[in-house]
Amino acid sequence: MNRRLVKCLHNVSIAIAVILFFPHAADAHLVTTGLGPVYDGIGHLVLSVDDLIPVMALALLAGQRGPKSGRWTLFILPIAWLIGGLFGMQAKHETEFPFQCISFIIIGILVATNLPLPAPIIAIVAIVLGIAHGYANGTAIQDAGKAAGLLEFIGIMVSLFVIVTLLAALVISLRWDWTKIVVRVAGSWVFAIGLLLLGWALKSSQVIQK
Amino acid sequence: MIDANRLLKRNLTALLAVALVLCWAQSARAHVETGKAAGFANGFKHPWSGWDHILAMIAVGIWGAQLGAPAVWLLPVVFPMVMAFGGFLGLIRIHLPGVEYGIALSAVLLGAMVLGEVRSRRKGFIFFAAALVGAFGLFHGHAHGSEMEEGQSAMLYSIGFVIATGTLHACGIAIGLVHRWPVGRVALRAAGALILVGGLYFVWDAYKGGDEAPQPQTAVSLMQNL
């Protein structure tokens, strides 16, 4: 009886191994989580550095300017992103110029210089960033022909809310001077990345012209 | 005691099955996202690719640490920003004369600053230090920008590049922390002397090799191309 059970387990384990090792085609470029459009949206923001870094920089900026700016950004940015996305989904073509580099440059320099901007200015920056990046996401979703675009944007909004909450709160809570300097150094890095990206974009356009 | 033959015999079917399935590989249609990891890695390794860049960037960190606050944080903020501007000029092929000399001289002068532990209590000194570091950052950035290869992920290359530059500054600042001990101060000045000598070698190297610059292009012709 015991030997038969061991043999049976042996055969079952072979069958499981065969099933587990059986390879499927890797459709890596689709970047879907397999868990539905909401999770696709969450995954998109977390995995797309061209959207993620400006959002993180904006959260740092809002945190530098205090709780009021942080609270405003928390709600304004996701809504602006959704509005931009809805417009983008109606558009016919995806934007070609990587305008993300402009977001990197502007927000990066604001964080690096730590200018004492009032909360309404930060809110305007959040609105512009949200609409521009949301629009780009909307056109991309439209081009990909995905039906569940709105649900994907809900996922993106959830990610935005969480990222801005965590980072802005972290920066607001900083007390030591050197930690505030680290935030400014991060801003200078974002600015530098944006400037290099702009150079890449101009260089590519020259290559196309040639 | 384990009998290897017996063990192999017992699991032969299983091993054959796994081998068969592993050989059954299907194609991975991942071509759209190719070059991403390579882009980051190439960008990250670029600032480490030449001793002239490494010495100058570490010297910035060491000098900042010698000067103390606010220079210790101002210099690493200024350098990547101006360096990125230089990279931007290099990418769009706007010519900057004497780039190789500028890079070599950055090691000479920054090494001299570290060697002499140059500092002043005057208010304008911090701006002088930032301007000096920024001016040399322009040359370093321009060289990197002109040498960037085609076919990379621009975003990840840029991220890797900037992170590597920041890491080099952080290395310099970490080395500079020994400044608090008398022996450490002497060691830092000796490091400054080494950087200076290295810089002189690079000046000689630039003189021998000539200043190879990319094809010049004016801002007007650039805008016409766009």
Q: DSSP alpha helices (H): ranges in A48-176?
A: 49-64, 67-90, 100-113, 119-144, 149-172
**Residue A2 touches partner B, C-beta closer than 8 Å:** no
CB atoms closer than 10 angstroms to residue B173: 20
Distance from the Cα of residue B111 to its chain's centroid: 18
As a whole number, mean pLDDT of residues A171-183 equals: 86
User: Mean per-residue pLDDT for B192-200?
Assistant: 91
Task: Please state the pTM of the whole predicted model.
Answer: 0.74
Q: What is the rounded distance in angstroms from the CA atom of residue B173 to the CA atom of residue B120?
A: 19
Q: What pLDDT score was predicted for residue B30? A: 44
Give the pLDDT of residue A64: 93
Cβ of residue A143 closer than 8 Å to a chain B Cβ: no
Interface of B with A in 67-86 (CB under 8 A): 69, 73, 76-78, 80-81, 83-85
Distance from CA of B197 to the nearest CA of A (A): 30
- A26: helix, strand or coil: strand
Contact B161 A202 (CB under 8 A): no
Compare A6 and B127 and report the one with higher pLDDT. Answer: B127
Question: B139-170, pLDDT tens digit by residue?
Answer: 888 888 887 776 667 788 888 888 888 888 88
Using the predicted structure, report yes or no on whether residue A208 has a pLDDT greater than 50.
no
More confident site: A91 or A71: A71
Which tens digit of pLDDT belongs to each residue from A113-155? 888 899 999 999 999 999 999 988 888 877 666 666 788 888 8
Q: Which residues of B touch A205 (CB under 8 A)?
A: 225-226
3-state secondary structure of A115: coil
C-alpha A188/C-alpha B134 separation (Å) is 13
CA pair distance A121, B106, nearest whole angstrom: 39
Q: What is the complex's ipTM, to 2 decimals? A: 0.70
Q: Which tokens is A96 given?
A: 């070609």
